[in-house]
Every structure is written in C-alpha cells, then in structure tokens.
Amino acid sequence: MRSSLSAANGCKLILPTLLVFAVVPAEAQEIQRNQSFVENFADRLHPARWYISDGWNNGAHQNCTWSRDQVSVADGRLKLAFERRTLGERDHVCAEAQTHARFHHGTYEVRMKAVEGSGLNTGFFTYIGPVHNQPHDEIDFEILGKDPSRVQVNQYVDGQNVGAEKLVPVEGGAASDFNDYAFVWEEDRITWYVNGDLVHEETDPAKLPSHPAKIYMSVWGSDTLTSWMGAFEDSDAPRVAEIDRVSFTALGEECQYPESLVCMMD
C-alpha cells in the first residue's frame, strides 16, 4: 500500500505519497517492461532490477524512514527489517524494494515469511501513481502483524479502493513459516491465490487496474492507523520478513520453475 490509509471508520483515505524517483543503473535499461523473471536472491539484490527505497517516508501515517540498511540478502533470502533507530523525522527504520521496470498482465508470485507485531505491515503488491505521472492503480497482498493468521487482498483503480479488502486465512500463519502468494492479472479479471488455492476473484471491469505497475516488497509500521493495523507495539529486537523467491511470468509464457502457479495451471 503506497498512499492509501485506513481512517478511523475502517475506510481508506488517499493522501499524498512522499516518493523519490529511482536513479536507474545503465544495465537496467536492458530490462524491459513485462519481461518475465525469477529472483532467487542467490547472492544479492541486483541493482539492474531493483531499487531500494532510502532516506524518506510515505507520509505522516508512517512511523519509520525507509533505509537501505534494512534490506539485505543472506542464505539465499531477501531480508526486510523493521527496528527502532532514529533516521530523519522518524524513530524507526523500515525496508522496501521496488522494481525499476513496470509490469502488466501476468502472474505475480512471492514466497514469503511475514513479520508479527501489532502496527506492522508486510506487503507484496503492484503500484503505479501520480509520482510516476500515472493514475493510482494497485493490486495487494498485505499481512497485518496484529493478526498474521490472515492476509488481506484488495485493489485500487484511479486512487479508489474498489476491492473492499478481503481477509483470507493462511494455514499455519503468515509469520510462522514461508507461504506462497500469487495473483494473476488479466485484462478481464484478477485472481488471488494462497499456497496454490484460489481465494479471491474480481471480474467487474470497473474494478480492474489497467496501467502497468512496479512490483514492491515492504515492511513498515504506523502509530496512527490503529483501526486497521492495530496499536503499534514497539520491540527492542528487529522484526525481519524474509523473501525466498519472487517472480513474474507474462501471460502466454511458459512456466519458469516447478513450484510456480503457472505450472499448476498448465
């Protein structure tokens, strides 16, 4: 979730998002829009594909500053950390990685272990918005640390939360172990899957995003969005989400690895 916030009544507000444009490495020019990929984090987060958010925050609702120090790769996994440390105007630091390229119709997949803790949010989503000179379109998986037994799915079209968030159970818990989250974005529908099971579908043309978007993975916190994320609970120890794999497979292309949802659907 980039610039959409939960109000006290549980609805979402659209507020300005404080973003910066990424400086794109020269080698990133070779990565084209809608190009299929699999990222297994064998050694590092490759700068040609990924931009690490650093030194800013998303607005007054966010109690942390994005810091590249909170993003690391170890043991074949991407680590996204949240911890108490003053940086800029915030008393906590948090983590976000986003693609340089934009993607459209296809299958988006992540194998992820979320963080637990009231007031925290672990997300895997697509986003494009005014900072990119585009309307705000978004497709989400968001795990609220107050109750990691469930994952929230929803979508935005032109800044409107048209998806009416749905909470989906995650067997065993999203923060206890790795789980597979995927959505298939097609011209006439979006389908969301948890561990290979279909959990939600949207077919209303008015509720389907239409603009190619960037892929995001993030962990962040809030002191103010208590009706949605719960009262923030601080900790002396860092909370760390782990990403084992992330991928995008363009529509019509072959399955890229055996565990992919695309293989299951072939």
Cβ–Cβ < 8 Å for 215, 109? no
The one catalytic residue among 138, 201, 202, 253: 138
**Separation between Cα atoms, residue 99 and residue 119, nearest integer Å:** 26
**Separation between Cα atoms, residue 259 and residue 69, nearest integer Å:** 31
Q: Is 242 a catalytic residue?
A: no
**Separation between Cα atoms, residue 33 and residue 100, nearest integer Å:** 9
Cβ–Cβ < 8 Å for 106, 34? yes
Q: Is 138 a catalytic residue?
A: yes
Cβ–Cβ < 8 Å for 253, 89? no
**Separation between Cα atoms, residue 66 and residue 87, nearest integer Å:** 9
Cβ–Cβ < 8 Å for 215, 98? yes
User: In whole angstroms, what separates CA 36 from the centre of its chain?
Assistant: 18
The CA-CA-CA angle for residues 162, 168, 174, to 5°, reads 120
The one catalytic residue among 39, 109, 142, 202: 142
The residues carrying an active-site annotation are 138, 142
